[in-house]
């Protein structure tokens, strides 16, 4: 897997393939990230260990606001480790795709803008959880 940034929007299939090709457990550079579900990006993590490789955001220039609807057909929730990674649903439709420069482990990242805070969040990608229900 290359760590060269892609400006085009990835599909669910592309994300699944990248997750399958990369490490599932991490390496010395990224193993501190234990994020099977969404977590705050640790402030002590050396972010230069990751490189942006793509995005799930709309890139065609459309001014359409991404949906805030979430996809949880099996009664999971936003924080669940087994929540599906539904690329066209929130928060995935606001994510960029990052990979460890050393082992190609794949992560999704976005910034949560709450009423009183800004929090960068990260989730490791498990290929078997990636879905595209549309």
Mean pLDDT by 10 residues, the chain (134 residues): 61 96 89 93 94 90 80 93 95 96 96 89 96 84
d(CA 99, CA 96): 10
pLDDT at position 59:
73
pLDDT at position 7:
60
pLDDT at position 30:
94
Instruction: Tell me the sheet residues that pair with 60.
Output: none
Tokens representing 16 are: 């699944």
- Strand 130-131 versus strand 118-124 pairing type: unpaired
DSSP assignment, residue 47?
A: G
d(CA 134, CA 128): 17
């Amino acid at each position: 897997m290359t760590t060269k940034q892609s400006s085009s929007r990835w599909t669910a299939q592309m994300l699944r393939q990248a997750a399958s090709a990369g490490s599932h457990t991490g390496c010395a550079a990224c193993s501190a990230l234990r994020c099977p579900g969404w977590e705050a990006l640790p402030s002590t993590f050396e972010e230069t260990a990751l490189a942006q490789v793509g995005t799930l955001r709309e890139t065609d220039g459309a001014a359409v606001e991404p949906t805030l609807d979430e996809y949880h057909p099996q009664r999971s929730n936003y924080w669940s480790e087994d929540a599906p990674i539904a690329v066209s649903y929130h928060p995935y439709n606001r994510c960029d795709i990052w990979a460890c420069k050393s082992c190609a482990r794949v992560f999704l990242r976005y910034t949560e803008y709450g009423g009183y805070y800004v929090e960068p969040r990260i989730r490791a990608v498990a290929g078997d959880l990636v879905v595209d229900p549309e």
